[in-house]
Amino acid sequence: MLAGASGLAAQAQRAPLVYIATYSSPQGPEGSRGNGAGICLYEMNPESGRLSPREVFQNPDNPSWLALDPARTHLYSANETATYKGARSGSASAYRIERSTGRLTLLNTEASGGAGPCYLSIHPSGKYAFTANYAGGTVAVLPILANGDLGAPTDVRSDGGTAGSVHAASAPPGSFAISGHERPHAHMIQADPSGRFVLSTDLGLDQILIWEFDSEHGVLRPNQTPAVKLPSGDGPRHFTFHPNGRWLYCLQEEASTIGVFDYDGRTGTLTAKQTLSTLPKQFAGTNFTSEIAISPDARFVYAANRLHDSIAWFSVAPAGTLTLAGEEWTRGDYPRSFTIDPSGRYLYSCNQRGDAVVCLRVNRQTGALTFTGEYTAVGTPAQVLFL
């Protein structure tokens, strides 16, 4: 038995391990029921891209976004609920990872600093977690203690300002993508590569907010240039930095556009340089974008479209600008997010309303995506994260 257990552990170390976040509460996304059970662990076949189930770690509170600490010894989840211990707040949980098997052990859960946390990220130092609380319109800083536990928030900031217009200024003709502009809605928060500045998006305010981060006290302070305004109603959602740290790509949920920015890491300032659609040239109607990511070799940027149910890819020019190169159907309904595996060979789309994760093969020369034929049944999947 000992020899067999040793062999299984060695096999687990060889095969990439994957976590899938799900909606698991009767109060799921967009008012629908979550069909998930918590955080699901899978093993990936590098030759086919197939995901094989290993274990489910129960969490009934919509652990819809996950992040790893820099050492990859701990996992943290944003639990997207409206209340926690009777208060108007969601929560965040800390887990210890057994590296040989990927098994999770819950350490603790803390209030997230606002209702409906939809995003969580870890500071490059590994000492803090950041939450974006969509329903609460707040962003928060939670310290990570020496044993990996989360502490109570050291800072909570309410996004302030006037909400944008109901209809996105840059949306396709005939679009009814009009949700989210009745009040502030924090959607993403992440440190820049240096960790000196923290950027957050507010969909309702149509702003990218920029914070100076006091890493000694865990406090966010508005930068000298505290925000960049997007066109009214466009709804900034997720962003990604180019590996060189000089360009930022921001996805607008209700306009279905990507904004390309130059980023000055010395001052934490953004300068707009390009805006382009994520949809085919003649598209008309309603679409909501969801996720944006850059390929491991930084040659292509990918963006997901919900309702159009596609993932578009763009080639990256030497100056960081983008050119639409193609699109591929996700083989499922409403791709909430997607993840490119670390090798760059596969892209996994979380088809939220289709209750499946679909594997697409990546052509690393052209950026093109093709369906592998691999479906993984997962109730209301929200995110794929590689260990």
Residue 179 pLDDT: 81
Q: Are 249 and 211 in contact (CB under 8 A)?
A: no
Query: Which of 97, 104, 95, 21 has its CA nearest to residue 62?
Result: 21
Domains of the chain, by residue range, sit at 2-386
- Name the residue among 181, 201, 177, 189 with its Cα closest to residue 334: 177
Residue 320: CB atoms within 10 Å:
20
Q: What is the pLDDT of residue 13?
A: 53
Q: What is the DSSP string of 224-276?
A: EEEEEEPPTT--EEEEEE-TTSSEEEEEETTTTEEEEEEEETTTTEEEEEEEE
| pLDDT per position as a tens digit, 63-91 | 999 999 999 999 999 999 999 999 999 99
Lowest average pLDDT, out of 10-19, 124-133, 165-174, 209-218, goes to 10-19
* Residue 252 identity (one-letter amino acid): Q
Distance CA 129, CA 293 (A): 21
CATH superfamily of 2-386: YVTN repeat-like/Quinoprotein amine dehydrogenase (2.130.10.10)
Give this prediction's pTM.
0.95
Assigned token pair, 307: 């309702």
Q: In what side-by-side order are the strands of the sheet with 247-252? A: 236-241, 247-252, 257-264, 269-277
Distance CA 258, CA 129 (A): 26
- Mean pLDDT, rounded, for 220-247: 97
